[in-house]
Amino acid sequence: MKITWLGHSAFRIETGNSVVMVDPFLSGNPKFEGDPLEAAAGATHIALTHGHDDHIGDTVAIAEGTGAQLIACFEICQYLAGKGLNDFEPANMGGTIYTEDFDVTFVRADHSSATLADGGITYLGNPCGLVFRPKDGPTVYHMGDTDIFADMALVNELYKPDVGIVPIGDRFTMNPRSAALACRRYFDFSTVLPCHYMTFPLLEQSADGFVAAMGDRGDRVKALDIGGSVTV
């Protein structure tokens, strides 16, 4: 499995014959350089953790340009259907979508979910984390935007994720210290990919504090450059 960080919470996950674009906020991301459709070349699926504009991002354009199928909560699917998207699989927390190469389960996240794209606040269902279980490869837990919560222990008990994609930026998600506590207390990730930092001035600007807070597990953190990849 190859995982590429595209900035903020956007990742490209390649497993088997599938390419999953997660939270593809690209064209509006001041740190992303390049063409969103090139970054999404070959995409088979788009998976969204929640409905904020910095996570929906280029979903519609990528779906139209690649034919990728959307996987998201029910409200987001219905909202984007109104924007012309017509290939989607809706779910909600606790539910699983099954595909040829991977299963993806929606789990809890402590956050909010809405869009301002239409000039007002449109509610878009519950925010979620996403647990990807490939047919051949490690289990990946993209936490989405969230605070630490004790039921992360249940996520670990149920799915035993090997790779954690963890928001560390503070202000809207966990800060480096609480993100490290979540990883150390509730999980035994072999690889940790920090995200949701550096994008805007309000957020943490580096992963250094997170790596330090991880202590003796700091070597498990892979703070990728934007566009950088790791094979797991």
Q: What is the pLDDT of residues 70-116, one digit of tens each?
A: 999 999 999 999 999 999 999 999 999 999 999 999 999 999 999 99
Instruction: Evaluate whether 45 touches 71 at the Cβ level (below 8 Å).
Output: yes
Q: What is the pLDDT of residues 107-119, one digit of tens each?
A: 999 999 999 988 8
Q: What is the pLDDT of residues 178-208, one digit of tens each?
A: 999 999 999 999 999 999 999 999 999 999 9
Position 229 in a domain: no
Range of the domain at 162: 2-223
Q: Record the tokens describing residue 228, joined without a space.
A: 């950088």
Position 169 in a domain: yes
Position 190 in a domain: yes
Position 231 in a domain: no
Residue 145 CA, chain-centre distance (Å), reads 8
Query: How many structural domains compose the chain?
Result: 1
Position 94 in a domain: yes
What is the CATH number for 147? 3.60.15.10
Position 232 in a domain: no
At residue 176, φ and ψ (nearest 5 deg) are -55, -40
Overall pTM surpassing 0.75 (yes/no):
yes
Position 228 in a domain: no
27 by DSSP, 3-state: which?
A: coil
Q: What is the pLDDT of residues 39-67, one digit of tens each?
A: 999 999 999 999 999 999 999 999 999 99
